[in-house]
Amino acid sequence: MNELARELARWGRPTIAVIGDFMLDEYVYGDVARISPEAPVPVLRVSSRESRCGGAGNVAAMLGAMEAAVVCIGVTGRDEAGRRLRDLLGAWGAATDGLLELADGRPTTVKTRYVGLAQHKNPHQILRADAEKADDFPGDLADRLGRTLAEVIGRVDVVVLQDHKKGVLSDGRAEALIARANEADVPVVVDPALLDDFGHYRGATLLCPNRYEASLATGTEIACQSDLRQAAQAILRTTGAKAVAVTLDRDGTFLQTADADGQAIPPARTHEVADGTGAGDAVAALLALGLATGTDLDQTVQLANIAGGLEVERFGVVPVTRLEIAQELRHIIGLRGGKILDAAALATELDRRRDYGETIVFTNGCFDLLHIGHVMVLQQARELGTCLVVAINSDDSVRRLKGPSRPVIGGEERARMLAALECVDYVTVYDDDTPKPLLRQLRPDVLVKGGSTGHIVGREIVEDYGGRVKRLDLVDGWSTTDIIHRVMDSNDE
């Protein structure tokens, strides 16, 4: 996991072209409090509406959230839904010049989900209504898409084909686009449609079907790992791909390459599923990023599992950011070492978090003999923001402040124990007698201190640049000094 974190930090900003069926997802939310007297159906009292990127648009948004430069190639209607989709994609930083507007009355594909909430919580989809036209495209569409790809292929690191069987990649258009990418020596990732033949994806580098899609495309009933291997190898033979990654929901991913035995790569942790929508798109986006950055395929699949797992924890399709994946890695491994940073590295990390709108909370102390009072204060501090930094005095600093018999626990051990707490995001050690130089360097949004001292050191620094200062009550009956005295007294007895 540490290697994955380092690999993720190495990624730059590759350029990825997303080609396929771009759609608009609409959500209509409301409360369901009664059944209609006209028919046995729930009555949705609408409270809000929301639009999100759908289909290939969701993959493009995912890639934008993961800090890639994205080029969108596909079609929309000349309508309000198409304009709204372009605006949403633009908000994620995706270039939409390659989305062709079809002026023949063909609408932008829109999926509208009606979502009921019981007592303003626990959202559940009641109905989905699709507005689309998935056939009878202009005869020159393949040429137009090909020319659009040719205009950008020189600066593209990977091409993603996102096929939802809405027609953009039908009738030989997928094969033509893959061939054009191959001519430019650009790898192609395919998230295939639910088809009984993957032959028209021939020449792709990597396919990422789900279990059901792999089963249908190969005629293999998948009940065990041997079946997965058989299906994946059949897909490799049909497409000539270098690898197949079959997604398996909560079981992770089965990776089969052309030159090695297949292997099941389980998820790093179990996720609570709120909604499975969009998980496959998150996986496709991560696989494309891995290819674009030259990441080892095994590592790429592990990162894709993490992205897919984070996606299913949220309702509807909400793009997963690269920072969220990095945070998840830290959570998984406890990051006893990775959470502990020197001031310079920590300042860089906090700048990245601020770019994502996070609120940085800072607290400091000796934290000698970590006890429940410390833990409760730290948990309360973490609730004041999205990132908690704990700065601890070095051993020399503690001796100057507390006397030659302290600290009882060395600085490295104190840092590691604090880093093991889930509520703590970072730990740093400082050698000064006060945290003032560190506060000037890190500039946290909130300075927190537990205890009863009248003056909070560093208050004026934080308030001067607009930050907040918050005192938390000391937990009665717990202090390091009291614990030491109790231990010494018991030894005397």
Q: Could you report the per-residue pLDDT of 245-256, keeping only the tens digit for each? A: 999 877 889 999
CA distance 267 to 435: 40
Q: For 108-117, 354-363, 454-463, which range has the lowest pLDDT when averaged over its residues?
A: 354-363
CA distance 271 to 457: 41
pLDDT of amino acid 274: 52
- The domain containing residue 256 runs over which residues? 2-332
Q: Residue 208: left if φ>0, alpha if ψ -120 to 50, beta else—which one? A: beta
CA distance 453 to 382: 21
Q: Is the peptide bond before 407 cis (omega within 30 degrees of 0)?
A: yes
Q: 191, 281, 368, 425: which is the annotated catalytic residue?
A: 281
DSSP string for 346-405: HHHHHHHHHHTT--EEEEEE---S--HHHHHHHHHHHTTSSEEEEEEE-HHHHHHHH-TT
Would you give the distance in Å from CA 117 to the centre of its chain?
25
Above pLDDT 90, what percent of the chain? 56
| Length in residues, the chain | 493
Residue with tokens 């308030």: 463
Q: Could you report the per-residue pLDDT of 429-448, keeping only the tens digit for each? A: 999 999 999 999 999 999 99
Told to judge if 281 belongs to the known catalytic residues of this protein, a careful annotator would answer yes
- pTM of full prediction above 0.95: no
Q: Could you report the per-residue pLDDT of 365-421, keeping only the tens digit for each? A: 988 888 888 888 899 999 999 899 999 999 999 999 888 888 888 888 999 899 888
| Residue finishing a domain among 300, 332, 364 | 332
CATH number for position 339: 3.40.50.620
Q: 464 or 374, which is more confident?
A: 464
pLDDT of amino acid 49: 92
CA distance 402 to 414: 16
Q: Could you report the per-residue pLDDT of 27-38, keeping only the tens digit for each? A: 998 988 889 999
Q: Could you report the per-residue pLDDT of 37-69, keeping only the tens digit for each? A: 999 988 999 989 999 999 999 999 999 999 999
pLDDT of amino acid 486: 52
Are the CB atoms for 246 and 209 separated by under 8 Å? Answer: yes
Q: For 77-81, 183-187, 469-473, which range has the lowest pLDDT when averaged over its residues?
A: 469-473
| Strand ranges of the sheet holding 22-35, from the earlier edge strand across to the other edge | 42-55, 22-35, 109-118, 121-131
pLDDT score of 91 more than 80: yes
Indicate whether 109 and 218 sit together in one domain. yes
Residue closest to 7 by CA, chosen among 339, 302, 347: 302
**Based on the structure, what is the number of domains in the chain?**
2
- If you average pLDDT over residues 158-172, what whole number do you get? 93
What average pLDDT does the chain have?
87
pLDDT score of 336 more than 50: no
Indicate whether 188 and 322 sit together in one domain. yes
Indicate whether 368 and 269 sit together in one domain. no
Indicate whether 45 and 167 sit together in one domain. yes
Helix axes 141-152, 173-183, angle to 10 degrees: 20
Runs of H (alpha helix) within 153-224: 173-183, 211-218
**pLDDT band at 489, cuts 50/70/90?**
low
Indicate whether 172 and 248 sit together in one domain. yes
pLDDT score of 148 more than 90: yes
Per-residue CA distances from 217 to 166, 167, 202, 210, 212 (Å): 18, 18, 13, 11, 9
Residue closest to 249 by CA, chosen among 239, 229, 264, 260: 264
Q: Is 55 exposed, middle or buried (CB count within 10 Å of its CB: 0-12, 13-18, 19+)?
A: buried
| Residue finishing a domain among 275, 298, 332 | 332
Q: Could you report the per-residue pLDDT of 194-224, keeping only the tens digit for each? A: 999 999 999 999 999 999 999 999 999 998 8
CA distance 54 to 229: 31
Indicate whether 396 and 284 sit together in one domain. no
CATH number for position 235: 3.40.1190.20
Indicate whether 328 and 391 sit together in one domain. no
| Strand ranges of the sheet holding 446-450, from the earlier edge strand across to the other edge | 426-430, 387-393, 360-365, 446-450, 468-472
Give me 5's structure tokens: 């974190």
Q: Could you report the per-residue pLDDT of 274-308, keeping only the tens digit for each? A: 555 667 888 999 999 999 999 999 999 999 888 88
Indicate whether 374 and 478 sit together in one domain. yes
Indicate whether 279 and 410 sit together in one domain. no
Dihedral sign computed on CA atoms, order 316, 320, 326, 329: positive
Indicate whether 362 and 286 sit together in one domain. no
Q: 264 or 121, which is more confident?
A: 264
- CA angle at residue 154 from 149 to 158, to 5 degrees? 70
CA distance 334 to 82: 44
Indicate whether 246 and 367 sit together in one domain. no
pLDDT score of 337 more than 50: no
- If you average pLDDT over residues 335-356, what whole number do you get? 78
pLDDT of amino acid 269: 66
| Residue finishing a domain among 270, 299, 332 | 332
Indicate whether 233 and 140 sit together in one domain. yes
CA distance 327 to 330: 5
Residue closest to 277 by CA, chosen among 47, 6, 52: 52
